[in-house]
Amino acid sequence: MNVFIQFTKEQKMMMIEDIQRYYYQENGDEIGELAAENLLEFIKESIGPHFYNQAVKDAKNLVEQRMQSMEEDLYALERSVKR
């Protein structure tokens, strides 16, 4: 399964370097660039969709809250009609 999230070459290299730095700090050993890139691909394809889906849900909730607020603001603008 190929996740549709694409990163620039620079972004990918930064993430690979972050993985290498983290691995060294946690294990006191170095991880090669290829191994770090493979780990990044695993995270992107296997774990990434969970983060992506949660971000979509969070954005949806935020939009719904804003729409509710706008609806309330619009009702507040209504004027009473005299009969």
The residues, ordered by sequence, that sit 6+ positions from 39 with a Cβ below 8 Å of its Cβ are 19, 31
pTM of the model: 0.70
Q: What is the pLDDT along the chain (83 residues), one digit of tens a residue?
A: 455 678 999 999 999 999 999 999 999 999 999 999 999 999 999 999 999 999 999 999 999 999 999 999 998 988 888 88
